[in-house]
Amino acid sequence: MIAELFTNNALNLVIIFGSCAALILMSFWFRRGDRKRKGFLFHAVQFLIYTIIISAVGSIINYVIENYKLKFITPGVIDFICTSLIAVILTIKLFLLINQFEKQQIKKGRDITSARIMSRIIKITIIVVLVLLYGEHFGMSLSGLLTFGGIGGLAVGMAGKDILSNFFSGIMLYFDRPFSIGDWIRSPDRNIEGTVTEIGWRITKIKTFDNRPLYVPNSLFSSISVENPGRMTNRRITTTIGLRYEDAAKVGVIVEAVREMLKNHPAIDQRQTLLVYFKPVC
């Protein structure tokens, strides 16, 4: 029986062992070399090899089911498992490529927040497309999938109102951009102050000045005021100049001299109001 199995599936077995050998060689090659070479071609070839292995193994199992009259499993189940494995591997590979692209954009000096939101939107799009294709492969109509998604969305909305509120608030943070990753922010309404380290779908992570991690639900930012000192275009400088009592007669001259110095200073915005005055000390 075993000899017959090997004879009738010799090609599939050769494909499986050859593909496994190729994976091992690729692993050693890229382990010794530069990991930066693991780009699109590497992941595409590796995904193709995994797909070939899964398809060959599925073909052998289907042969065993059909020729040995197995009752506890059917070819449809094997097809479901193989398709699921291929979909999972494809998703992982695409996510790895997206993460690499995100890191490359950040290294080029692109805005971290924009790079991360783009990568997350692409990931969500990939998941939605794969789910639709997955359903179509197993005979589910697109309208049926959309109907199921609508009912499921309604159920999730009723059960997880707070989660959805944080999710949509996170999206609005990305589009409104009251702050970005790396900005120092604070709120006069809540005890929130620190540097933004990450803007997630549900929470925003802030590192306080004593290095404590602070996790703020995104929905909170829709109901509080947020100051972003890092985006100030001007700074207000308040200073006091002390004078001796014997220089009291020169106060007017000194005030005028300071005012003229500020008017002629290149770093002073002349569109703003300049206040220079004498404040007596009793």
pLDDT at residue 37, as a whole number: 55
The answer to the question of residue 61 being in a domain is yes
> Do 100 and 207 fall within a single domain?
no
- Residue 131 maps to a domain: yes
| CA quadruple 265, 267, 270, 272: dihedral, nearest 10 | -130
3-state secondary structure of 214: strand
- Identity at 143, one-letter amino acid code: S
- Which residue, among 58, 71, 68, 79, has the nearest Cα to 2 in the 3D structure? 68
**Are 44 and 134 in a shared domain?**
yes
Q: With respect to residue 253, please indicate whether it lies within any of the assigned structural domains.
A: no
Q: Provide the domain limits for residue 24.
A: 2-139
What is the domain count for the chain?
Answer: 2
- What does the pLDDT read at residue 2? 66
Within a domain: 83: yes
pLDDT below 50 — which residues of the chain? Answer: 33
How far is 115 from 42, CA to CA, in rounded Å? 23
Predicted pLDDT at 141: 60
Instruction: Specify if 129 maps to a domain.
Output: yes
CATH number at residue 226: 2.30.30.60
**Same-domain status, 6 and 133:** yes
* Edge-to-edge strand ranges of the sheet holding 192-199: 184-187, 192-199, 203-207, 213-217
| pLDDT for position 51 | 92
State residue 162 phi and psi, 5-degree precision: -65, -40
Instruction: Give the pLDDT of residue 165.
Output: 75
So what's the pLDDT on residue 148?
A: 53
> Do 69 and 189 sit in the same domain of this protein?
no
122 in a structural domain? yes
Q: What is the pLDDT of residue 196?
A: 93
In a shared domain, residues 22 and 130: yes
User: What is the structure's pLDDT at 214?
Assistant: 94
Is 65 domain-assigned?
yes
pLDDT in tens, 158-202: 555 667 777 777 778 877 888 888 899 999 888 899 999 988 878
171 and 130 assigned to the same domain:
no
Task: Examine the domain organization and report whether 134 and 199 are in the same domain.
Answer: no
